[in-house]
Structure 1
Amino acid sequence: MIIFIEMMNSISAFLDTGGQVLTVIAGVICLMWLLIFERLFFFLKTYNGIKKSVIANWQARADKSSWNAEQIRVAQVSRLTEMLNQNVALIQSLVVLCPLLGLLGTVTGMIQVFDVMAISGSGNARSMASGVSRATIPTMAGMVGSLSGVFVVTWLQRKTKRRTEQLEDSLVLQH
């Protein structure tokens, strides 16, 4: 319990050093990873059951060679592909949003540095240090969040393409 409290205090202190923008970045990253975990759960658990059901329905069909059968096959593949791609565009948007919010944090931190310079009238390094930290920490957090999401989005897209191809191969048309 003490470790949890110390961890929460450390996170709170980190968020305070980055300013309000860092809190927004943290929220965006949490939402992004929540959606990523939902997609991973779908890929690893839910998809296989749906795929087996679609293949079983296809195998049970008597007609697998007509134009109607081909359209049903295309529709089934499209539905499953749509399920595989669900929320991927939103995850991509959040990945793109992270560095932009980091840039916003940089601008707000630099504004704080310039305010200190205007008030103190000099380049006092101690008084400018908090503004510089508010400028660099959100940038770093936005880039780290974005990079972590880029790898997962690429993996999801690759897996979606591969599983769509596998489904198309499983639903064979008879000519």
Structure 2
Amino acid sequence: MTGFLTLMQQGGLIMWLLFIVAVLQVYLFMQRWLTWPSLTSLKGRSTPNSHRPQLESHAQHLAALNQLEKGLPLLKALVVITPLLGLTGTVTGMMLVFDGLSLGGAADPRRLSSGIARAILPTFASMAVVLLGMFFLSFWQRRARKTLQGH
């Protein structure tokens, strides 16, 4: 746990935002996972006294699609903004490194490389979080498509 806190502290505020994004992604994945059995039962519903079976079937298909894709727009948005958060963390970290250089006069290579490594940390973390989110998103989109094709 100490290593995690040290890593988060080195990366700054952006690392905490990335952590929150990762937790939200896992929450959305788990929420879908736990509600999936009840959602798949939506596609089998029908009304026996329907005068327009084709129209009703299409309406049921759209309702099931709406339920199966619930939460996916938020997951898509998180996947889109995550690399931008990482880039923001890197840019602000590099600004601090260059600010330190301008104040210090002489450049100490060890200190400079340490500062650059800290600045790049949010980009690395954001790529890991993006991969996680892309996996979750593609998993649920593929599963929703397969479920609705069986409709």
Give the TM-score of the pair, scaled to structure 1.
0.79
Secondary structure class of the residue paired with 1:145: helix
| Matched pairs, number | 151
Q: For residue 135 of structure 1, report the CA deviation from its aligned partner.
A: 1.2
Structure 1 runs, 4 residues or longer, greater than 4 Å off: none
Whether 1:104 aligns to 2:96 is: no
Structure of higher CA gyration radius: 1
- Does the CA-based 8 Å contact 1:77-1:164 persist in structure 2? yes
2:67 to 71, 83, 86: 83
- Structure 1: segments with no counterpart, 5+ residues: 1-6, 168-175
- Does the CA-based 8 Å contact 2:82-2:130 persist in structure 1? yes
2:104 to 105, 108, 120: 120
Hey, what's the Cα distance between the residues in 2 that align with 1:159 and 1:28? 23
Aligned partner of 1:61 in structure 2 is: 48
Hey, what's the Cα distance between the residues in 2 that align with 1:50 and 1:159? 15
Whether 1:10 aligns to 2:3 is: yes
Secondary structure class of the residue paired with 2:3: helix
What do the CA deviations read for 1:121-157 (whole angstroms, capped 9, x no partner)?
1221233344213311100000000011112211211
Task: Name the amino acid aligned to 2:39.
Answer: Y
- Does the CA-based 8 Å contact 1:18-1:105 persist in structure 2? yes
- Structure 2: segments with no counterpart, 5+ residues: none
Q: For residue 69 of structure 1, report the CA deviation from its aligned partner.
A: 1.9
Aligned partner of 2:131 in structure 1 is: 147
Task: Name the amino acid aligned to 1:126.
Answer: R
Task: Name the amino acid aligned to 1:110.
Answer: M
Task: Name the amino acid aligned to 2:77.
Answer: S
- Does the CA-based 8 Å contact 1:98-1:142 persist in structure 2? yes
Change beyond 3 A, Cα 1:161–1:34: same
Aligned partner of 2:55 in structure 1 is: 71
- Does the CA-based 8 Å contact 1:113-1:128 persist in structure 2? yes
Give the TM-score of the pair, scaled to structure 2.
0.91
Aligned partner of 2:25 in structure 1 is: 32
Secondary structure class of the residue paired with 1:86: coil
Instruction: Tell me how large the CA RMSD over aligned residues is.
Output: 1.7
Hey, what's the Cα distance between the residues in 2 that align with 1:96 and 1:42? 25
Q: For residue 42 of structure 1, report the CA deviation from its aligned partner.
A: 2.1
- Does the CA-based 8 Å contact 1:22-1:138 persist in structure 2? yes
What do the CA deviations read for 1:18-56 (whole angstroms, capped 9, x no partner)?
11111111111111221121112222x32244345x1xx
